[in-house]
Amino acid sequence: MSRPKNAMEIFKHLEKSNCRECGEKSCLAFAGAVFTGAKSIDACPRADEATRALFRGGAGETGDNGDIYLAALQEKMGTCDFDEASRRIGATLSGEVLTLKVLGKDVGVDHQGRFHTDLHVNPYLGVPFLNHVLDGKGVPAKGQWVSYRDIPGGREQYNLFHRRCEENLLRLADGHTGLFDDLVHLFDAKEVPPQFQSDISVVLHFFPTVPFMICYCNDQDGLGSAVNVYYDSTAIENVDAESLFYLGVGFTYMLERLALRHG
């Protein structure tokens, strides 16, 4: 999977003729649009197949590359030492299946990379889960909350993370007053004393050592409501920054789909 760090990484692969066939004024403007997810790389008829494969899905969606990355990680399960991994990350091992709690629900994987769970496993969940199994250190949370922006490797992707996760969570929270009750009931979240001057704070666990806190602030003095999300400062020891991006954004997509389904 290729997640460009900035628009220039995409620009380098374009023709640079500024032909405007993509509808943008220049190749650089087009690169920016692909980076933010506003346009698909396929909108440039002059991009070769390798470039399309590299950036299809933009910077904020996993696209085909996410599936390819997930498949590569699934293959690695064949050589993963499940005994060692279970001890390291606090998973349980039953026969050939390593199982970990994800959002309060059991998710298992076997040596063929097959998932055993009632949850729908897409790259947003599968990639972080398998990265955690392979490389997570199992460092317990310290209760020191940090923004995704302050996680090593998170700063460059923060604007996109903010748009895809925090802004969409805010829309959901503003339009669905029962959102936080649903989080508690559906995903084993816990309401905690409000943090960072918020009005509601809930904590859920992507993995047992990777908590995620959502803080909602009511509209005060006409400044508008706000949602900020936080990871524990130890999160980067347990899963890489890209996987933390996937977890926050993928969880938001899942909530949006649930909201659409149930109104």
How many CB atoms lie under 10 A from the CB of residue 151?
A: 22
Map the footprint of ligand SF4 across residues 29-48, applying CB under 6 A: 30, 44, 46
DSSP state of 256: H
Residues 250 and 101: beta-carbon distance below 8 Å: no
Shortest reach from residue 115's CB to ligand SF4, in Å? 38
Min dist. Cβ of residue 29 to ligand SF4 (A): 8
C-alpha span between 259 and 171 (Å, rounded): 11
* Rg, C-alpha atoms of the chain: 20
Sole binder of ligand SF4 in the list 2, 9, 15, 147 (CB under 6 A): 15
Q: Does 13 bind ligand SF4 (CB under 6 A)?
A: no
Contact between 8 and ligand SF4 by CB under 6 A: the answer reads no
Longest Cα–Cα distance in the chain: 59
Q: Does residue 12 interact with ligand SF4 by CB under 6 A? A: no
Under the binding rule (CB under 6 A), the answer on residue 22 touching ligand SF4 is yes
Place of tokens 């692969």: 13
3-state secondary structure of 47: coil
Closer of 17 and 144 to ligand SF4 (Cβ)? 17
Residue 10 binds ligand SF4 (CB under 6 A): no
Q: Footprint of ligand SF4 on this chain (CB under 6 A)?
A: 14-15, 17-22, 24, 27, 30, 44, 46
